[in-house]
DNA sequence: GTGATTGGATAGTGTTGCTCTCCAATACTG
DNA sequence: CAGTATTGGAGAGCAACACTATCCAATCAC
């Protein structure tokens, strides 16, 4: 398959495919001559994945590159790979002041209340802290009760997800990394729809 | 309070405050002379809200403006206001082809399976469709079982949220609109942390 | 052989979120 | 009350981003 066929198969302009190639989101095809390269189905799938990540998931090209790099070549520790994937995902949080001996107090308290592991090196801890601080700054702090409710439901979802993780290591990495990124928009959309559903049932209109 | 004091109170450069003023995210202060205007605590709170929305929540200035406009002056129908808020939030989805008599088949099937209202005019329906389509295109389609699990948990969260809605109309609008936007990053961070917790407990490292 | 196409490199474009520079009018300081 | 500093407002400038368009020589298809 030449580049124009690849672009057509993915429904993208050739110029955009070239751009992704330049940016390292798409592996180069096999060069068959100075002006020809060969692409296959794996390239088509990769382009679809790139569009899923930069579109609905809302990643920048840079963030997508980091996620794809993890899928292409994960470490041998799945737990660490999950951590790296979360670190590559938005929201980006500024690194904590190394002087500060308790940089994430809200997140620490939340995780302790939930009885979960608190590891300040995990990117999601900083993300939780910043989300809690933002809600607080905006005048809508999150109560312990709400945190417990959200945390409990999130944990149930996580248990479900992990139970269905494929056994084969390579698939497990893809499942973990891509599942984190791809399924988040689904969960958010469902939450919004559930709010609508509950509101409708309670007749909270005018 | 003059502008420089306002900027200092919010921890922002004066130039940025001027920018938000130009963009209509911040209401003008009361002009006391040609070169002086007076700001108060409400302006400080508003700036904090703006930073929360454009920061951790990840809204663009344009999206934040739409959300703030809803808070400032909501319709008299809370249900519709919720719909508008969701429409202002990412991910932005291209409008459906009006020729298409079933533009959101995946979302419709999902909501039917969940026994929830299916209203194609609601923005979250299109968002769900695009999230489901993206996961599918990326080679990780969402099973019915997973959809039920996520949908159920989302619904429990929504019931919790709605139960705690303030009675007073003005606060109810703020709670609904801002809660949708501000609490989403919290839920996502908790899901990521729950994944980590479950993985750690099952010793899914190397 | 010849005209179209290819991959690759380079430069240009429109948008976004600030940031900088100016300015005359006003406020504070001694 | 003279002199300096600061203010709100308007405009242009800027860096990052995600493409998009233009060239070009090599090569392919007829």
> Among A111, A119, A195, whose Cβ lies nearest the Cβ of B158?
A195
User: Which tens digits make up the pLDDT trace of A130-147?
Assistant: 999 999 999 999 999 999
Lowest mean pLDDT among A31-35, B6-10, B49-53, B185-189: A31-35
Taking the C-alpha atoms of residue B36 and residue B47, their distance in angstroms, rounded to an integer, is: 19
How much is the pLDDT for B190?
Answer: 98
* DSSP codes, A6-61: HHHHHT--HHHHHHHHHTTSS---EEEETTEEE--HHHHHHHHHHHHHHTTT---H
> Has residue B205 got a pLDDT over 70?
no
User: Which tens digits make up the pLDDT trace of A170-190?
Assistant: 999 999 999 999 999 999 999
Q: Which residues of B touch A190 (CB under 8 A)?
A: 128, 147, 150-151, 154
How much is the pLDDT for A75?
Answer: 87
> Among A45, A156, A193, whose Cβ lies nearest the Cβ of B124?
A193
Q: Are strands A36-38 and B30-33 parallel, antiparallel or unpaired?
A: unpaired
Q: How far is the CA of A41 from the C1' of C18 (A)?
A: 42
Give the pLDDT band of residue A35 (cuts 50, 70, 90).
Answer: confident
Q: In the predicted model, what is the mean pLDDT of residues A148-156?
A: 98
B76 secondary structure, DSSP code: S
Q: How far is the CA of B15 from the C1' of D11 (A)?
A: 13
User: Which tens digits make up the pLDDT trace of B65-114?
Assistant: 999 999 999 888 999 999 999 999 999 999 998 999 999 999 999 999 99
User: Which residue does chain B place closest to A185, by CA atoms?
Assistant: B131
Q: In B13-141, where do the E strands start and end?
A: 30-33, 36-38
Give the pLDDT band of residue A204 (cuts 50, 70, 90).
Answer: low
Q: Are B150 and A184 in contact (CB under 8 A)?
A: no
User: Which tens digits make up the pLDDT trace of B161-190?
Assistant: 999 999 999 999 999 999 999 999 999 999
Q: Which residues contact B95 (CB under 8 A, 6 or more apart)?
A: none
> Has residue A120 got a pLDDT over 70?
yes
> Has residue B203 got a pLDDT over 80?
no
Task: Return the closest-CA partner of residue B79 out of B199, B188, B168, B172.
Answer: B172
> Has residue A59 got a pLDDT over 90?
yes
Please, is A67 exposed, middle or buried when counting C-beta atoms within 10 Å of its C-beta (0-12, 13-18, 19+)? buried
Give the pLDDT band of residue A128 (cuts 50, 70, 90).
Answer: very high
Express as a percent the part of chain B with pLDDT over 70. 99
> Has residue A203 got a pLDDT over 90?
no
How much is the pLDDT for A205?
Answer: 62
Nucleotides of D under 7 A from a protein CB: 6-11, 17-22, 25-28
Q: How far is CA B193 from CA A157, A166, B22, B72, B138, in A?
A: 11, 20, 39, 35, 24
| B193/A128 Cβ within 8 A | yes
Task: State how far Cα A119 lies from the chain centre.
Answer: 19
> Has residue B147 got a pLDDT over 70?
yes
How much is the pLDDT for A113?
Answer: 97
How much is the pLDDT for A143?
Answer: 97
Q: Which residues of A touch B58 (CB under 8 A)?
A: 58, 90-91
Q: Are A85 and A173 in contact (CB under 8 A)?
A: no
Task: Return the closest-CA partner of residue B131 out of A188, A66, A92, A9.
Answer: A188
| A154/B127 Cβ within 8 A | no
Q: How far is the CA of A26 from the C1' of C3 (A)?
A: 31
**Domain residue spans of chain A:** 55-205
How much is the pLDDT for A93?
Answer: 95
């Amino acid at each position: 398959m030449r580049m124009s066929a690849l672009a057509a198969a993915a429904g993208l302009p050739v110029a955009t495919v070239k751009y992704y190639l330049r940016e390292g989101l798409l592996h180069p095809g096999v060069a068959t001559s100075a002006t020809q390269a060969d692409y296959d189905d794996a390239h088509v799938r990769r382009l679809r994945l790139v569009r899923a990540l930069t579109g609905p998931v809302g990643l920048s090209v840079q963030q997508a590159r980091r996620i794809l790099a993890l899928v292409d070549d994960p470490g041998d520790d799945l737990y660490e790979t999950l951590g790296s994937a979360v670190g590559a995902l938005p929201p980006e949080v500024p690194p904590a002041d190394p002087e500060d001996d308790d940089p994430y107090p809200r997140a620490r308290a939340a995780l302790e209340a939930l009885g979960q592991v608190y590891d300040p090196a995990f990117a999601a801890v900083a993300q939780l802290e910043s989300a809690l601080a933002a809600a607080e700054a905006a005048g809508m702090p999150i109560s312990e009760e709400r945190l417990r409710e959200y945390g409990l439901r999130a944990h149930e979802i996580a248990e479900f997800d992990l139970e269905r993780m494929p056994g084969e290591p390579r698939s497990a990495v893809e499942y973990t990394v891509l599942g984190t990124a791809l399924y988040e928009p689904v969960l958010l959309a469902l939450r919004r729809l559930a709010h609508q559903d509950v509101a409708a049932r309670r007749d909270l209109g005018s």
